[in-house]
Chain A
Amino acid sequence: MDLGALFGSYDNFLSFTIGGLVFGAIYALVALGYTMVYGVLQLINFAHSEVFMFGTFAVAWVFVALHGTSSAQWSLGRSIPILLVALVAAMCLSAVVALLLERIAYRPLIKKNAPKLIALISAIGASFALSEGMGLRDKFAQWFGLDHKLANYVSPGKARDVYSNPVSILPHHLFSIGGYSVTDVDLTIIVAAVLMMVVLDQLVLRTRFGRGIRAVAQDPESAALMGVNSTRVVQLTFLLGGLMAGAAATLYMVKIGTTKQDAGFTLGVKAFTAAVMGGIGNLRGALLGGLLLGVMESWGAAVFGDQWRDVTAFVLLVLILLVRPSGILGEALGKARA
């Protein structure tokens, strides 16, 4: 244990805090997918991590398509044109995966009013299939004789290995807080994530769609009697969750630059933790939970060593649940303050 690493100097403290906020922002965006689906269906959307994982691949694929496979180091400014395309692609792919997930893995069970536990098993199955399917993409391409044509995308024989974005994005110093150098990459991630969450929050709070979501979350039967199409609302929830996961995937690739077919699992577990911490079903709770989790685990990593990062996160979760069982902001997708 090394408290000095964290509290020894103000600069260190800030750098770990800001580093934590960056990951926290990504957790928060992914957490939305868990929190909204839970709010509406009371179901742990276990396969949401794979929705995110597909997004990260979409980002890398767009770079391969538009730039090629030669590795390069660009500044954020130079990557922005391709990055925007990648953002759209990732959001689209994630949204499609999320919608397929709803259609294939959940809707038949929701219709039958099956126990939640069964839906969770279906979700676990879908999660296995999606992540393993991504690891088998070379084999699938081979069925159609496309594995060599698409070699840059499906990595024949190495589909289960790490897949990198050929362009690594170099962070640039923008300004300093204390002695800590805030980079354009960090700032972009935090600002973009918070901005997107504010937009989503307002969407749920102010639009007709949002009212539908809140109505179904509060009382599905009455909502149905009032003419709310609950299937449509559930679809919309998955769509929004998928879009946000795609955005998170883009930000993740800006920061990390590599992905893998199982990249979603740990991140997904943490995002769900963030959702529970903030109060599951509560959009603002997801933001708060995500940021808090990011910062706390970054501090934990500083004090106890990097290998204890995840342990800190879960210990924190247990502590918060003990003190405040319904999360920091309470559970409230159905309540007026969405």
Chain B
Amino acid sequence: MTTPSLMVPPVRQSPLHKVGEWWDVRVDRYNAQPTYLKAIWAVLAMVFVYALPLLRLPIITTNQIDFGGVMFDCATFALVALGLNIVIGYAGLLDLGYIGFYATGAYVTGVLTSYHWQWPYFLSLPLAIIVTMITGVILGAPTLRVRGDYLAIVTLGFGEIIQKIANNVSWLGASAGIKNIAHPPSFGKQPNPPFEQGGAFAIPHLQWNGLVPSLDTTHETHVLVFGALDAIPYYWLILTVLILVIIGDRLVKASRVGRAWEATREDEDAAELMGVNTFKYKLMAFALGAAIGGLSGSLYASGQGGYINPQAFMLIYSMLYVAAVIVGGSGNRWGAILGGVIVAYLPDRFRQLGDYRYFIFGLALMVLSIWRPQGLLPPRRARRARAAEAQIDALEEGDVEVTDV
């Protein structure tokens, strides 16, 4: 007896699919290495990412606005996207008002460290996280019981309400906002250039003449001084937080909790009948996401400017956050981070496009969702499942040769 073998033709894919494949190959190669090499690579990559704003590499460096500030924004967006990815990507809950949690975190820090009290920054941070988490529970507990789509509108309303409250309540600074928010404590004294060195030591930046680098000693970053002059220490702080959150995210995802989220997202009824308390896990994801939103908001508030106002928390940014997660690849933490960085970086890098920026951004979102609906870096399993589906489709359409061997 002969067995028919199926020759499945290569499935036609858009060029963007290459991004996911490229990433897979890198991940595989990385994982194939012995542990000590893996550790070395990870450390090198981390050093590189920390050093990015000092290196000021050509092409990627923004020239019209401070690159350190841009990197800070990118890291903030990455953190926000990572938090929202837990809500949208893992638990499958559509949160359109994530900016509300971000704003809550920022305002808790603003009120505690400047506007009404003079707490040191690192005391306000945990409180900001706790307050946003409680806000998340209060908002989520009633709405997560009803159908998923309503969560979208309720969170949208929440985002709008928070902004209106910030804008109208004088206890929160109203439309003028809050200034002089406490910075994290510096190590060493503030620099007084060009005469006095600040911090423990100073690192000069690089400057590029074409492809030739040289040291730029007129611009130095003082370690570790959180002042108004240099955004880079703030970038390092938020990057450190980002790395810690990534580690936490990994641990939780690869546990019973992560499985429960995934099962709930896939089929809520089936998950419930397999003993998963779906409501509890949805609320957990929602509150955890809220807490990370509050964490990033608090870090943002104490950033270089030490200033927040309601205009920074427009509802439209919420849409950008959702876009970041989906564009990057909902459900994959690296995808979400990539999406966050892209959404923060592109408008800044292409300032010269001026008013066209958001128009082009909108078109790009549309094109991307139609062309590559699963995002740039979807979770690995989704990639495998989709490849299998594509093969099955190809089989059904009959463009497969069945040959007897």
Which A positions have Cβ atoms within 8 angstroms of B? Answer: 38, 42, 44, 104-105, 108-109, 112, 114-115, 117-122, 124-130, 132-133, 135-136, 139, 160, 265-266, 269, 272-273, 276, 280, 305, 307-308, 310-311, 313-315, 317-318, 321-322, 325-326
A122: nearest chain-B partner, CB-CB? B369
Q: Are A125 and B366 in contact (CB under 8 A)?
A: yes
The CA-CA distance from A120 to B168 in the complex, in Å, is 31
Does B323 belong to the interface (CB within 8 Å)? yes
Q: Within the complex, which residue of A42, A109, A132, A311 is in contact with B370, where a contact is CB–CB below 8 Å?
A: A109
The CA-CA distance from A313 to B156 in the complex, in Å, is 12
Q: Within the complex, which residue of A122, A132, A311, A318 is in contact with B164, where a contact is CB–CB below 8 Å?
A: A311
The CA-CA distance from A75 to B160 in the complex, in Å, is 36
Which B positions have Cβ atoms within 8 angstroms of A? Answer: 88, 94, 142-143, 145-147, 149-150, 152-154, 156-158, 160-161, 164-165, 167-168, 315-316, 319, 322-323, 326-327, 330, 355-356, 358-359, 361-370, 373
Q: Which 8 A-B pairs have the closest CB atoms?
A: A125-B365, A128-B362, A314-B157, A129-B362, A125-B366, A132-B359, A325-B146, A122-B369
11 A-B contact pairs sorted by A residue (CB < 8 Å) = A118-B369, A119-B369, A128-B359, A129-B366, A139-B355, A269-B156, A276-B153, A313-B157, A314-B157, A318-B143, A325-B147
Interface residue SS majority, chain A = helix
Contacts of B315 in A (CB 8 A): 265, 269
The CA-CA distance from A160 to B168 in the complex, in Å, is 25
Q: Within the complex, which residue of A42, A124, A310 is in contact with B323, where a contact is CB–CB below 8 Å?
A: A124
Contacts of A126 in B (CB 8 A): 362, 366
B358: nearest chain-A partner, CB-CB? A132
Q: A115-B373, A139-B355, A311-B165 are in contact. Are A129 and B363 (CB under 8 A)?
A: yes
The CA-CA distance from A6 to B136 in the complex, in Å, is 33
The CA-CA distance from A38 to B235 in the complex, in Å, is 42
Contacts of A313 in B (CB 8 A): 157
Q: Within the complex, which residue of B150, B165, B370 is in contact with A108, where a contact is CB–CB below 8 Å?
A: B370
The CA-CA distance from A112 to B94 in the complex, in Å, is 21
Known: A117-B94, A122-B365. 6 other contacts (CB 8 A): A44-B153, A122-B369, A125-B363, A125-B367, A125-B368, A128-B362
The CA-CA distance from A133 to B357 in the complex, in Å, is 11
Interface residue SS majority, chain B = helix
The CA-CA distance from A115 to B329 in the complex, in Å, is 13
Q: Are B359 and A129 in contact (CB under 8 A)?
A: yes
Q: Are A139 and B164 in contact (CB under 8 A)?
A: no
A37 to chain B, nearest CB (A): 12
Q: Are B167 and A307 in contact (CB under 8 A)?
A: yes
Contacts of A326 in B (CB 8 A): 147
The CA-CA distance from A115 to B375 in the complex, in Å, is 12
The CA-CA distance from A120 to B322 in the complex, in Å, is 10
Q: Are A117 and B160 in contact (CB under 8 A)?
A: no
The CA-CA distance from A114 to B389 in the complex, in Å, is 13
B316: nearest chain-A partner, CB-CB? A265
Contacts of B143 in A (CB 8 A): 318, 321
Contacts of B147 in A (CB 8 A): 325-326
B357: nearest chain-A partner, CB-CB? A132
Contacts of A114 in B (CB 8 A): 369, 373
Q: Are A136 and B160 in contact (CB under 8 A)?
A: no
Q: A112-B373, A128-B359 are in contact. Are A118 and B157 (CB under 8 A)?
A: no
Q: A108-B370, A132-B359, A269-B156 are in contact. Are A124 and B319 (CB under 8 A)?
A: yes
Q: A117-B88, A117-B94 are in contact. Are A310 and B362 (CB under 8 A)?
A: no
The CA-CA distance from A58 to B367 in the complex, in Å, is 27
The CA-CA distance from A118 to B152 in the complex, in Å, is 14
A107 to chain B, nearest CB (A): 9
Q: Are B358 and A44 in contact (CB under 8 A)?
A: no
Contacts of B362 in A (CB 8 A): 124-130, 132
